[in-house]
Amino acid sequence: MKFPISPHMQQIPFPPISEVQRWLADGLYTGEEPLIDLCQAVPDYGPPPELTEYLATLLNDPQTARYSLDEGLLEVREELCRHYRSRYGAVIDPRQLCLTIGASQAFWLAMVALCQAGDEVLVATPYYFDHVMGLQALGIRPVLLPFDEQSGGVPDRTAISARIGPRTKALLLVTPGNPAGTIIPSAELAELSALVRQHNIALILDETYHAFIPGMQRPHDLFSNPDWGDHFIHLTSFGKTFALTGYRAGMLAASAAFIEQALKVQDSMAVCAPRITQQAIAFGALHLGDWVEGNCRMMQGRHDLFCNELSHSANPFTRIASGAFFAWLRHPFTDRSGRQVSRHLLQKAGLLTLGGEVFGPGLEGYLRIAFGNLSEEQIPEAVRRLRELPFD
Ligand SMILES: Cc1ncc(COP(=O)(O)O)c(C=O)c1O
């Protein structure tokens, strides 16, 4: 390539999961024990047969092969409104929803509609790297909030207020968190909502893992305020909820006025989410409540087992925070970065993980573990490999 490219791209690191997958493709792991993948968050189970059988019936319908409205099929958005009324107590209507190609595209729609290059967005660390990569690509400045081990990663309101300036457009949070699994309590989200209102900026919540909040508790009450769209933007994925990550199933919820602007980006970026994906989401919202609840209980079981195994075995890896799908561990190698430890774990123990520094500067001492990928049978084995990892 001889021509210059966008200077924003130069500062963006290569996608971390692709980097780890390249280690694997390059043959870094030659061990005999089966690989255990704690890296990219993907449920180990597939969607239930009732969903796939329903989708199979749609394939011969020529409508399935066509575009939908940019924002998604009306009947699907209506079904989702019903779902949000029961899950969130939401005062919501279909004009406030846009179905997207995963939560990833919902994030891009929100950011392109909200910010110009040079604007700032407050981002809690450790951050979901794709968010910061996206902001950097758009020339938006991520202003980082420090991670407080004592609070388990719940962001501090004083730290937030201190960083709000004239170019701040939003406070961006992920709850339940990726990578630390932190679940921000509903009461704290209400406080944060009041704070953003005071400063007339947006609160953007990425709630990709909301279906793994223990007991399927209501994540928050923000949607029950009829004016929620004045300052709140919600991003979600159905990929983890219905085990449909490859279907690229996501949604943006915001005021009808904001969606109206976001549709200009949607039209030029993707036109619409795939129709079959939209229909899968509607089916899930209508029929899979019990299945989702069962998975939520199972995930809590995986979480508790992982934490118990780690703490009962004098493991040199320490749990700093955890919840939903992830655990955030401190590794015992003071002279190595998280990336180096992650390579070492692959090479010596057949464990795929992510080093802490991909989630923010200064986090070399940590690792992210997606225990949600593993069945209960695999968890003791994964923890054993952490415990017995050779230091050389
Ligand atoms: C916090 C968070 N947001 C968004 C996404 C992307 O979701 P999707 O696959 O629906 O684009 C992920 C995927 O892991 C995630 O962890």
Q: Is 245 in the pocket of ligand 1 (CB under 6 A)?
A: yes
Is the pLDDT higher at 315 or at 350?
350
Average pLDDT (315-322) is 95
* Average pLDDT taken over every residue of the chain: 96
Q: Is 178 in the pocket of ligand 1 (CB under 6 A)?
A: yes
* Confidence grade of residue 278 (pLDDT, cut at 50, 70, 90): very high
pLDDT of residue 27: 96
Is the pLDDT higher at 170 or at 392?
170
Which of 42, 237, 277, when mutated, tests ligand 1's pocket best, judged by the most ligand atoms within 8 Å of its CB?
237
Phi, psi of 390 (to 5 degrees): -65, 145
CB 353, CB 367: distance < 8 Å:
yes
Average pLDDT (7-15) is 91
CA distance 221 to 194: 12
Q: For residue 235, report the distance from its CA to the centre of ligand 1, in Å.
A: 9
Count the Cβ atoms, other than its own, within 10 Å of residue 346.
20
DSSP 8-state code for residue 316 = S
* Confidence grade of residue 148 (pLDDT, cut at 50, 70, 90): confident
Decide which of 2.60.120.620, 3.40.640.10, 3.40.50.620, 3.30.450.20 is the CATH code for 50-288: 3.40.640.10
Average pLDDT (52-59) is 98
- Measured torsion, CA atoms of residues 110, 113, 115, 121, in degrees rounded to the nearest 10: -10
pLDDT above 90 (res 224):
yes
Concatenated DSSP letters of 202-220: EEEEE-TTGGGSGGG----
pLDDT above 80 (res 313):
no
CA distance 286 to 308: 36
CA distance 342 to 352: 7
Return the closest-CA partner of residue 16 out of 128, 140, 139, 146. Answer: 128
Q: Is 277 in the pocket of ligand 1 (CB under 6 A)?
A: no
Q: Is 323 in the pocket of ligand 1 (CB under 6 A)?
A: no
> How many alpha carbons lie under 13 Å from residue 81 in its C-beta half-sphere?
16
Which fold is adopted by the domain 7-46+291-387?
Aspartate Aminotransferase, domain 1 (3.90.1150)
Which ligand 1 atom is nearest residue 249's CA? 10
Query: Domain boundaries in the chain?
Result: 7-46+291-387, 50-288
